[in-house]
Amino acid sequence: MPAATPTFTSSAERQQFWLHHIEAHLASQLTQAEYCRQHALNLSNFWHWKKKLCPERVQKKENRPALSFIPVQHNPVKQDQITCKCPNGLEFSWPAHTPVEAITQLLQAVTR
């Protein structure tokens, strides 16, 4: 069960409380969430005070590594085959040069 939030008599006392927890967290090798859970601290409050008291410890968006694309090898599908997947689960494949009339007759026959 989480501990009750302490009552502070001054803003300096409140800052000292959070600074102590921020430093203890950094020394702990725990994630912020794990540290807060173990010490019954509100994670949002912890994050707020960390940004306020130790802004150099907060990684800003512009300092994060840029996202990049990973090269992939594309193997194009053979163009000599057409596959039709029907809503009822049936799947049909035929050569790409099959006349449209034959495909139409096939699809009409299986939807009857």
Supply φ then ψ for residue 94, to 5 degrees. -150, 160
Tens-digit pLDDT profile for residues 71-110? 766 666 666 888 887 777 778 888 888 888 888 888 777 7
Q: What pLDDT, in 10s, does the model give residues 40-56?
A: 999 999 999 998 888 87
What is the domain partition of the chain in residue ranges? Answer: 11-60, 81-110
- The dihedral through the CA atoms of 26, 31, 33, 37 has a sign that is negative
Tokens 């940004």 -> residue: 51
Of 39, 49, 38, 63, nearest to 14 by C-alpha is 49
E strands, the chain, in order: 81-85, 91-95
Q: What is the pTM of this model?
A: 0.49
Token look-up 């807060």 returns: 36
